[in-house]
Amino acid sequence: MTLWEGRFGSGPAAELWRYTVSLHYDSRLATDDLAGSRAHVRGLARGGILSEEDAGILLAALDRVEEELATGEFVPGAGDAGAADEDIHTAIERRVTEIAGDVGARLHTGRSRNDQVATDLRLFTKRALLEVASRVVDLQSVLLARAESAFADEIYLPGYTHLQRAQPVLLAHHLLAHGWALARDVDRLFDARRRLDVSPLGAGALAGSSLPLDPDGVAADLGFAARFDNSLDAVSDRDFVAESLFVLTLIGVHLSRIGEEMVLWTSDEWGFATLDDAYATGSSMLPQKKNPDIAELARGKSGRLIGDLAGLLATLKGLPLSYNRDLQEDKEPLFDAVDQITGGVSALTGLLASVSWDAGRMRAAADTQSAAAVDLAEWMVERGMPFRQAHSVVGGLVRDALQRRVPLAELVQAHPALGEAAVSLLEPGVAVTRRTTPGGAGPVPVAAQLHRFAEVLEAERVRLAAG
């Protein structure tokens, strides 16, 4: 069925139908569409456009459609090939009309699919972002738990710049670095959600209506914080999709960075971590293999997420006001990003909860002599030497040690500005304890950081519960 057949002499061409139909993906909006229709019906009744009786009939029909969708009795799109429903809005209206007869024909009064679909998608996005936030918080909880036990076990590893060993850091510090990135993501999810919390219903096709609609009441009924201010904007604005895609894509980028580290850490070359069997895959040919496929897909899928975001922005660019059918292209990238992030966050959560650390390998990699190079320089700074000079002294010793293949400790001991006392800085595990500044990588600031992170996590849980 089409909604416009009165104006047309013929039905749609099969090619038009195949090309323009969106039912196969927008069916996902069914519950939101039903919620929007219920609120719309109540608004029409409040305005006296629908009698209480007709409103009751329509609401009962909408309930029945919901039940039939759940039981599978009503299958949107089923019907004559080529004359099936174009989208979920059409399908539900058709079924309501089949159930409620003539009264069904009053459902779409004062409404267009343009304000309807924008409403549905905002309802969906509000819920989806909250669900994603809850999963990200679960991932953060695992990072915190792993950080707490790594802290108790005093595990440290090299911190890297340029992928070269730079200075030792506590493993807890490293894990929480990812946790803080995710905290910003959770904040962004709530922020995007707050901005999208606006009802477009009542904007009609683009200009509002001559009928006494009640957009404010409908917005409140649907749990939106406000209604639109401008009907043209209401039906054509997809900023909320773009913004949600950005936030989801950035989460994807963060997962990708964690994934890349897991790939490195679980390699034979690094050997910092071993995946739990349940979170690793095998090879079809090489019996010895244990592969980090979750971590690799977390890395790989960030590419398609960036594609989802870039594709939507390209769709929006250059669109004149107000609704254009191009906007139908908003849904698939959004659904894809929500699904990919939901799956990716959960899989990485499981991986990180079950991975085991090789603390010995981590410590051994961090305890190379030159890892304490800056500590030697700072030791001399504390005794009055300008840092640039101290840097040069230690740089010379490191170069010497490498060229002459002698232990750095020997050269340190022999140097007049260093000597016996400074040699203790080179002992295993000492350098990391010397990172004492706030937010730094040593035990003193990391203890405070663990506490602070737990507070942030608790505040996130409170926000989640408030919805």
Q: From the DSSP assignment, how many helices (H) and strands (E) are in the chain? A: 19, 6
> Cα–Cα distance between 436 and 444 in angstroms, integer?
6
- Contact at 8 Å (CB) between 154 and 364? no
Instruction: Give Cβ neighbours of residue 106 (< 8 Å, ≥ 6 apart).
Output: 44, 50, 54, 58
Taking the least distance from each CB to ligand ARG, the nearer of 22 and 125 is: 22
Whether 51 is catalytic:
no
Whether 283 is catalytic:
yes
Shortest separation between residue 31's beta carbon and ligand ARG, angstroms:
16
Residue from 149, 267, 283, 392 carrying the catalytic annotation: 283
Which pair of tokens denotes residue 293?
């496929």
Taking the least distance from each CB to ligand ARG, the nearer of 198 and 380 is: 198
Q: Would you tell me which residues interact with ligand ARG (CB under 6 A)? A: 22, 26, 87, 113-114, 117, 323, 325, 327-328
Taking the least distance from each CB to ligand ARG, the nearer of 113 and 435 is: 113
Shortest separation between residue 180's beta carbon and ligand ARG, angstroms:
38
Cis upstream peptide for 370 (omega within 30°): no
- Nearest-5° Cα angle at 423, 417 to 424: 130
N-term to C-term CA, the chain: 38
Instruction: Give Cβ neighbours of residue 155 (< 8 Å, ≥ 6 apart).
Output: 170, 171, 172, 357, 359, 362, 363
DSSP character at residue 209: -
Q: Which residues of 314-343 are buried (b: 16+ CB within 10 A; e: fewer)?
A: ebbeeeeebbeeebbbbbbbbbbbbebbbe
Shortest separation between residue 252's beta carbon and ligand ARG, angstroms:
24
- Contact at 8 Å (CB) between 259 and 299? yes
Residue from 162, 210, 284, 356 carrying the catalytic annotation: 162
Taking the least distance from each CB to ligand ARG, the nearer of 125 and 266 is: 125
Shortest separation between residue 163's beta carbon and ligand ARG, angstroms:
45
Sign of CA dihedral 336, 339, 344, 347: negative
Shortest separation between residue 123's beta carbon and ligand ARG, angstroms:
14
Taking the least distance from each CB to ligand ARG, the nearer of 266 and 328 is: 328
Kindly state the helix (H) or strand (E) to which residue 17 belongs, with its residue range. Answer: helix 14-20
> Cα–Cα distance between 86 and 18 in angstroms, integer?
9
Shortest separation between residue 25's beta carbon and ligand ARG, angstroms:
9
Taking the least distance from each CB to ligand ARG, the nearer of 316 and 352 is: 316
Positions marked catalytic: 162, 283
